[in-house]
Structure 1
Amino acid sequence: MDHRPGRRPPPFARLRPPALRPPSFSGRLHEPRTATAVGRWLGAALAVCFLTGLVSHFLQHPPSWAAGLLPSRPVWGYRLTQGLHVAAGLAAMVLLFAKLWAVYPRLFLWPPVRSVRHALERLSVALLVAAAVFQVLTGLLNIAEWYPWPFAFVPVHYTVAWVVAGSVLLHLAVKAPVIRAHWSRRSAGTLALPGEERDVPDRRALLLGVGTAVGAVTVTTVGQAFTPLAPLDLLAPRHPGYGPQGLPVNRTAAAARVTPAAVRGWRLEVRGPAPYRLALAELAALPQRRVRLPIACVEGWSADAEWGGVRIRDLMDRAGAPPGAGLRVVSLEAEGAYRIMEMGREYAEDPLTLLALRLNGEVLSADHGYPARIIAPNRPGVLQTKWVARLEVR
């Protein structure tokens, strides 16, 4: 380009675009004290998620030796643990991104590895960030029932939960000296940090903002499980009072391919030492029980309802079931991961466990499992089998 005196520069020569630079993140709060403060909250949320997730997984997929030992009481047990699981997961999402904001500059230090200890630290950070982000984002999409991936959610979510737990423990072990030094205002090694007292108001404001965001997310979603807060249920994918017969539905009859033709002439088949079959009218003529039980879904919503039907243990006794027998339940639905459900003796013998024919005083709608469905206490919603076709004494 010719810029000699007397020569006019070519058009647009002065309109060069500015050089693009990545953000420097040089603020004072991108430091260990802030990261430790947020990390305490994040660690608590992840611990609640992990423990309640184990409860949910083993209730849905119990090992063979424990299948008959799972408790049916308290009736609200699964409602509580799964509600906590989803609420803590949503809180962890906010806290995780706040934690990443606090440590972001350190994620891109150069050289990336300076020693064996530093390599372990980087490995723990990489595992923790990748696994935790994957876990909270796929969990969020699960409660919205959107699955834009080719793998089965439940086994992958369960496996990655152990990866998150292991990476947290590794991270804590590697970063223990830093965490200890910045755990509290009086921690040794932090009292002389330059500018520390100046940073305190800013840090408090940041933590107040993060806490407010967590509170807002919790208050506007937890109403799907904690019904007193249902009027504030603005961001949750389900409302406990919306749906056929006043109860939400995840899997409809159409989705399960249970058509009116499939239930025409329906008869319940009960297999056991003394097998029998019952038409719907015959089933309705048996002694009926009414129970009020919550139905709690793995996506985090739950709601109380009044159910009417025949006790499972009465149907099993009629089939000659021996003491301590379990039950297999087979649905009319054509396919699905929970088309066949196993029920241990604690549930089968509980007087609150029904083959339900009515919901809130009305005959079951098709989407709620007409002509008959299972309802049992302290049980994940996916195991409250709808469109029951057959009971098998085990």
Structure 2
Amino acid sequence: MKLNLHDARTATSIGRWLGAAIVVCFVTGVISHYVQLPPDWLAGALPSRPSWGYRFTQGLHVASGIAAIPLLLAKLWTVYPRLFIWPPLRSVRHALERASVAVLVGAAIFQLFSGLLNTAQWYPWPFSFVPVHFAVAWLLLGALVLHLAVKYPEIKAHWGKRSPGTLELPVAEGPDRRSLLTGVAAAVGAVTLTTVGQSFTPLKRFDLLAPRHPDHGEQGLPVNRTAAAARVTDVSAADWRLTVLGKYSYELTLDELAAMPQHTVTLPIACVEGWSKSADWTGVRVRDLLERAGARPGSAVRVVSLERRGSYRVMEMGGGYTDDPLTLLALRLGGRTLSPDHGYPARIIAPNRPGVLQTKWVTRMEAM
């Protein structure tokens, strides 16, 4: 006699873990989306502190999404015999359950595996990843809430350590639930340990499966978009100018910018793909540049890159960031002049911001 592991109690046990991972992934994903693409009513209210905030939430987003993959596969394994029961629809409640399951499974598979491909910057689909991923996240949440509501009686009955009418068999008589759950936990631990080091640098030595290692890249920092990809490899220091537009607009050469008071801050680059690393940046405070242009304290700014194409060649930053003394137009990284791939001759570095908004190859700033 063998213990049936395709039962409600096993499904509930794994479902608790999977539900927690999905909720964490959803909440941190919403935070990421609104920090990256804030609506007008939120843009000026986004906080710049804690400086490591986006690094933490986005690292947790990617880590929980990756951890959810083995949990989803295990959950589907426990329930798959019931996906093919006959007749397929027995009542209105059963129809709602089946509909919620279909949407839930489809949305979960799409979200987790498209998100995984995004960490590797591989997009084998014709649509824009960010808006679709965000929209399907809400669809997934709705399907999950409906599924929990429909299945609540069964979940409640099997939530505890011992469920009514269940009999635990000795391990020797067949595969037991504890062994299965231990194996699933080990799989979750393994994929987390071998990927989370891309953002949680104390574990970077175990970063075997993540597409980025925090120490690999020019000047000890990874690069997503190179100068060659952006077609800004021929920037001349003699010809480059920074234009700052405001009440008293002005231009600066690179030498003039370097002659201004320089400040060094330690801030992370935290990318939406999940990797992050702190570094020492040196440059001119953005608020000093805006003040010289006659902008009011806390003014927003529009930053324009030399990059001619790309979704983020123009970036807007609210007053919470521009007024923060940690926000720099950086000229140096780790004590050395920025390399072309890191944004030479000048780039933005600000606290609690996604890497895509740390604009490189800056040529113009407009006080708003």
TM-score (norm 1): 0.90
**How do residues 181-220 of structure 1 correspond to structure 2 at under 5 angstroms?**
181-186=157-162, 190-193=163-166, 195-197=167-169, 202-220=176-194
Q: What amino acid is the match of 1:320? A: G
* Alpha-carbon distance, 1:184 to partner: 1.1
Q: What amino acid is the match of 2:144? A: V
* CA deviation map 1:288-331 (0-9, x unaligned): 00011111010011101000000000000000002331100011
Structure 1 stretches lacking a partner, 5+ long: 1-25
* Alpha-carbon distance, 1:27 to partner: 6.9
Q: Give the Cα–Cα distance (whole angstroms) in 2 for the partners of residues 331 and 261 of structure 1.
A: 12
Relative to structure 1, the CA distance from residue 337 to residue 264 in structure 2 (aligned partners, 3 Å threshold; closer, same or farther) is farther
* CA deviation map 1:353-387 (0-9, x unaligned): 00000000100000000010000011100000000
Match of 2:30 among 54, 60, 64: 54
Residues 1:328 and 2:302 aligned together = yes
Q: What amino acid is the match of 1:173? A: A
Q: Give the Cα–Cα distance (whole angstroms) in 2 for the partners of residues 248 and 273 of structure 1.
A: 38
Q: Give the Cα–Cα distance (whole angstroms) in 2 for the partners of residues 305 and 369 of structure 1.
A: 14
Relative to structure 1, the CA distance from residue 241 to residue 115 in structure 2 (aligned partners, 3 Å threshold; closer, same or farther) is same
Contact 2:248 2:293 in 1 (8 A): yes
Q: Which residue of 2 aligns with 1:237?
A: 211
Residues 1:110 and 2:110 aligned together = no
Q: Which residue of 1 aligns with 2:66?
A: 90
Q: State the structure with more CA Rg.
A: 1
Q: Give the Cα–Cα distance (whole angstroms) in 2 for the partners of residues 125 and 141 of structure 1.
A: 24
Q: Which residue of 2 aligns with 1:291?
A: 265
Q: Give the Cα–Cα distance (whole angstroms) in 2 for the partners of residues 108 and 29 of structure 1.
A: 17
Contact 1:331 1:386 in 2 (8 A): yes
Match of 2:12 among 11, 19, 36: 36
Q: Give the Cα–Cα distance (whole angstroms) in 2 for the partners of residues 332 and 324 of structure 1.
A: 25
Q: What amino acid is the match of 2:346? A: A
Q: What amino acid is the match of 1:391? A: M
RMSD: 1.4
Contact 2:291 2:297 in 1 (8 A): no
Residues 1:305 and 2:279 aligned together = yes
Q: Give the Cα–Cα distance (whole angstroms) in 2 for the partners of residues 261 and 359 of structure 1.
A: 18
Identity among equivalent pairs (%): 68
* Alpha-carbon distance, 1:196 to partner: 4.0
Q: Give the Cα–Cα distance (whole angstroms) in 1 for the partners of residues 109 and 175 of structure 2.
A: 29
* CA deviation map 1:227-271 (0-9, x unaligned): 111011000110001100000000001111113157661100000
Q: What amino acid is the match of 2:157? A: A
Contact 2:258 2:283 in 1 (8 A): yes
Partner-residue secondary structure (3-state), 1:374: strand
The number of residues matched between the two structures is 365
Q: Which residue of 1 aligns with 2:227?
A: 253
Q: What amino acid is the match of 1:192? A: G
Q: Give the Cα–Cα distance (whole angstroms) in 2 for the partners of residues 192 and 323 of structure 1.
A: 68
Match of 2:143 among 156, 167, 183: 167
Contact 2:249 2:293 in 1 (8 A): yes
Partner-residue secondary structure (3-state), 1:389: strand
Partner-residue secondary structure (3-state), 2:229: coil
Partner-residue secondary structure (3-state), 2:176: helix
Q: Which residue of 1 aligns with 2:349?
A: 375
TM-score (norm 2): 0.97
* CA deviation map 1:195-241 (0-9, x unaligned): 44458971000000000000011111110011111011000110001
Q: Which residue of 2 aligns with 1:143?
A: 119
Partner-residue secondary structure (3-state), 2:308: coil
Structure 1 moving runs of 4+ over 3 Å:
195-201, 261-264
Q: Give the Cα–Cα distance (whole angstroms) in 2 for the partners of residues 242 and 27 of structure 1.
A: 48
* Alpha-carbon distance, 1:185 to partner: 2.5
Q: What amino acid is the match of 2:8? A: P
Q: Give the Cα–Cα distance (whole angstroms) in 1 for the partners of residues 161 and 300 of structure 2.
A: 57
Match of 1:384 among 348, 353, 358: 358
Match of 2:107 among 110, 131, 141: 131
Contact 2:46 2:320 in 1 (8 A): yes
